[in-house]
Structure 1
Amino acid sequence: MAATMRGWQFNSASGPMERNLSIPSSGLPIPTINKDEVLVESHATALNPIDHKILELGLITRLIFSGLTPGLDVYGRVAKVGSNVTSFQEGDIVYGGLVPGGKHGALAEYVPVSQNLLAKVPHGLKGDDMVSMASTGMTVYAGLKPYARPGNKVFINGGSGGTGVPAIQIAKILGYHVTVSCSAANIELVKSLGADTVLDYTTTPIIEQLKDTGAMFDLVLDNVGAPANLYRASSAFLRPEGKFVQVGIGMNLSAAVQFFGNKLSSLLGWGKREYIFVAANASTAVFEQLATWMEQGKLRAVIDSTWEFSEVPKAYERLKTGRAKGKVVVHVKDD
């Protein structure tokens, strides 16, 4: 194995994150691994909004993360294992997710990953599909699974993006009746994923539509957040014992004010409904479950676009439009 590798690095200059990414001409040192880690030869990764949101927070954050390689979703071949690793061996094809904020991200040829954040890929499944389901799949699983009861009704706000795609399918697998919001252009997509009822947010504000339907939900899974504060109005369409689950938050002042305001209202009882924030919760068990559902044909990835390693800044530009249907995938190495 060579001593250096290709990898994208973020620098602390001002401006959009994608304009501050570069591949050092001298290469990057291949990371060392500890006894509980696996060194993965990265073949593909899927981009996530948190990649750029953290790096665009401000000067202090930029300085802290200067030199970081972005990318959370991992798919590739095991190149080396730590002395305490027993579940994997060299040559295994694996996928999984990284913890946000680490120095060594998936947009590099080699990535160190804790053995507890990986699972083997079943034979016949494609890398682009697996990596598209990693971070988003595990996150919505954590938001849906603890509250699932057959026949329960869930409203998923934002159904056609990277998080909404697995959310609809996992909700159906768990027995929910699914109502989802999206634009008119994506109605057929979300129906094909299993949505029972679709609300077109381009016609009438979603809060008005939810009130007009008269439906009462057992769970709301909000993938959108600001600017509309769905939680504040949720007592009109969420059962008293229901849960309002927020998946991800914006990285700006208005989103932060909304988040903390909602959390405080929930704790003090002003909000009338429980407000729960769900972040990524990676584990081998969850990745194995997602892989099993994909192998069974119950869960499928939707890929908006694929990009080569040299096109990473353009791939982030596509992600940041907010119009991607499913995931934006980058090929690091030929499979």
Structure 2
Amino acid sequence: MPTSSAHKNKTPKMYAWQFKTSTGGLENNLYLPAAGVPKPKITEDQVLVEVYSAALNPADYKVPELGLVARGMIPSPSTPGQDFCGKVCETGRKAASYRVGDMVFGTHGGPFGHGSLGQYIVVSKEMLAPVPTGLKADHMAGVGVAGLTAYQSIQPHVKEGDKVFINGGSGGTGTFGIQIAKALGCHVTTSCSAANMELCKNLGADEVIDYKTMDLVETLKKKGQVFSLVVDNVGMPSNLYGLCHHFVVHHGHYTQVGADIGVASAFQHAGNMFLPGFLGGGRRKYQFLSLKPNHEQLAQIGKWIDEGKVKPVIDSTWEYDDAPRAFERLKTQRAKGKVIVHVKKNIIME
């Protein structure tokens, strides 16, 4: 019997978490369409990946929860998630360096709305790297945004023997930052709460400051001008950059990574970038990091993980149906490392 035209033209489907609004919290608006969603198509420089594990990042919920601002940035409906580890299913003509069946990790890095909490994800070849043999999908899934951010915030600004201060060492980016700085031969001081001090020490931090019981700026000022780099994953205290000349060398650098999304935060960072020192601004080089696609840097992090120099830190793992609860965990801001969601169903995670 001949196949009907309607059947031949039927769009392939996949399963995916989606949302149409974030009012009341993204986690309260996620749903699984019973009929599935269209399977994405690739262009010549992209790769189609079947997602095994996905990792959540704060931006995955903070951007959708911007309200009216988010409407111009995110389509409706949308699938959240940026980071992943999975298997190559299809490659474009200009992405032939990847082979079907390869295990890869990376981050979507593109427009919000077509994320890693779907069965398949389309990714630029520059935002991927091969998974070293024997490493687990859960461990590699969280490398993308956090690992690449940590690398780009540190590596360009240091040399072996430099002292680095990382504000916020126990979160996703901070845990990678401590280890990457150590892999580059730096002395690392970091801040966290008392509950996370042991974690940061185990990751290699040479000194850990409990920001809840000590005045962070005053503690750093007492050390003198010793740090070549400050990486701020927190955005607080608000005067950290303005007073950093007391503890950062003259040619030093201040890289802003993490911060709240909002008007007050935007004004603070605008002031950091443009307000001159004689008007109360900072006196050291300031950069608000914008993540850039880089296959080679992802591959380097993968190599360090394979060598045992960097160990991905997993806070918790969640099955696919529990994705909303995974977001609830992330939003507590108490996660130590990455929050992972198993996306591929009915397999033993490796």
TM range (shorter): over 0.9
1:97 to 102, 107, 113: 107
TM-score of the superposed pair, with normalisation by structure 1: 0.95
Render the CA deviation track for 1:66-91: whole Å, top value 9, x for unaligned.
21211111210111112222111111
Aligned counterparts of 2:292 and 2:200: Cα–Cα separation in 1: 25
| Match status 1:4 vs 2:4 | no
| Match status 1:15 vs 2:12 | no
Partner of 1:152: 162
1:57 to 66, 70, 73: 66
Partner of 1:143: 153
Partner of 1:132: 142
**1:248, distance to aligned residue in structure 2 (A):** 3.2
**1:215, distance to aligned residue in structure 2 (A):** 5.4
Render the CA deviation track for 1:183-224: whole Å, top value 9, x for unaligned.
111111111111011111111221121123335211100000
Aligned counterparts of 1:22 and 1:227: Cα–Cα separation in 2: 37
Q: Which amino acid aligns with 1:262?
A: N
User: Contact 1:226–1:255 (CA<8 Å) still a contact in 2?
Assistant: no
Render the CA deviation track for 1:278-334: whole Å, top value 9, x for unaligned.
122232111110110011110101100000111111101110111000110000013
2:120 to 105, 110, 126: 110
1:287 to 287, 292, 298: 298
Q: Which amino acid aligns with 2:64?
A: L
| Match status 1:180 vs 2:190 | yes
Kindly tell me: are residues 13 and 145 of structure 1, through their superposed partners in 2, closer, same or farther at Cα, counting changes over 3 Å? closer
Render the CA deviation track for 1:98-126: whole Å, top value 9, x for unaligned.
11533311010010111121111111001
Aligned counterparts of 1:100 and 1:202: Cα–Cα separation in 2: 36
Partner of 2:87: 77
Kindly tell me: are residues 227 and 152 of structure 1, through their superposed partners in 2, closer, same or farther at Cα, counting changes over 3 Å? closer
Q: Which amino acid aligns with 2:39?
A: I
Alpha-carbon RMSD across the aligned residues, in angstroms, is 1.8
Aligned counterparts of 1:137 and 1:24: Cα–Cα separation in 2: 32
Aligned counterparts of 2:123 and 2:336: Cα–Cα separation in 1: 28
Aligned counterparts of 1:90 and 1:137: Cα–Cα separation in 2: 25
Q: Which amino acid aligns with 1:214?
A: G
**1:255, distance to aligned residue in structure 2 (A):** 1.1
Count of aligned pairs between the two proteins? 335
Aligned counterparts of 1:144 and 1:118: Cα–Cα separation in 2: 20
User: Which structure has the larger Rg over C-alpha atoms?
Assistant: 2
| Match status 1:239 vs 2:235 | no
TM-score of the superposed pair, with normalisation by structure 2: 0.91
| Match status 1:305 vs 2:316 | yes
Structure 1 stretches lacking a partner, 5+ long = none
SS class of match (1:163): helix
Structure 2 stretches lacking a partner, 5+ long = 1-9
**1:272, distance to aligned residue in structure 2 (A):** 1.1
Kindly tell me: are residues 292 and 267 of structure 1, through their superposed partners in 2, closer, same or farther at Cα, counting changes over 3 Å? farther
2:332 to 293, 297, 321: 321
| Match status 1:26 vs 2:35 | yes
Task: Tell which deviates more after alignment, 234-243 or 160-169.
Answer: 234-243
**Percent of residue pairs bearing the same amino acid type:** 47
Partner of 1:88: 98
**1:13, distance to aligned residue in structure 2 (A):** 5.1
**1:148, distance to aligned residue in structure 2 (A):** 1.5
Partner of 1:276: 287
SS class of match (2:143): helix
Partner of 1:223: 233
Kindly tell me: are residues 60 and 224 of structure 1, through their superposed partners in 2, closer, same or farther at Cα, counting changes over 3 Å? closer
Kindly tell me: are residues 266 and 190 of structure 1, through their superposed partners in 2, closer, same or farther at Cα, counting changes over 3 Å? farther
